[in-house]
Copies of this chain bind each other. A is one copy, B any other.
Amino acid sequence: MNYYSIGEAATRLGIPESTIRFYEKQGLLPRMERDEAGRRIFTEDYLVFLKIILYLKNTQMPISQIRQYVDWMAEGDSTIALRLAMFQEHKQAVLAQIALMTESLQGIEKKIERYTNYLETNGKEVLS
């Protein structure tokens, strides 16, 4: 199996090293392996796990809630129903967030149309 340093992991994930250290301190990255010199070691599997964390972050899940998920993972399979419920609720929250952004974007697109029209007609169009 291949191992990565924190620098390599950060590059592969597209995030700063400091963020990885911060997430570990926040309890999002438990059971992190170290080498004899105390340096963090990332396996492919660990990177896959970290990507899940980043999916949750990218969809605006708060760190406190991600930590809850990670804590449940550590408790074992008895918490799977809880994790499932959390993800299902989160999915709904994400869909709602996307819907809000899409709606708001429509209001912005109307502005783009107005401005475009104004410029195309050399200012002969009204700008309400």
Contacts and interface: CB of A to CB of B under 8 A. Distances in A.
Contact of A101 (B59, B77, B107): B59
Interface centre among A54, A80, A111 (most CB of B within 10 A): A111
Interface string A99-118: 01111110111011001101
A95 B52 CA distance: 22
Chain A interface: which size bin? 35 or more
Interface in A69-125: 77, 80-81, 83-84, 87-88, 90-91, 94-95, 97-98, 100-105, 107-109, 111-112, 115-116, 118-119, 123
Interface in A46-84: 51-52, 54-56, 58-60, 77, 80-81, 83-84
28 contacts: A51-B107, A52-B111, A54-B104, A55-B108, A56-B104, A58-B100, A58-B101, A59-B101, A59-B104, A59-B105, A60-B101, A80-B118, A83-B111, A83-B115, A84-B116, A84-B119, A87-B112, A87-B115, A91-B105, A91-B109, A91-B112, A94-B101, A94-B105, A94-B108, A97-B101, A98-B98, A98-B101, A98-B102
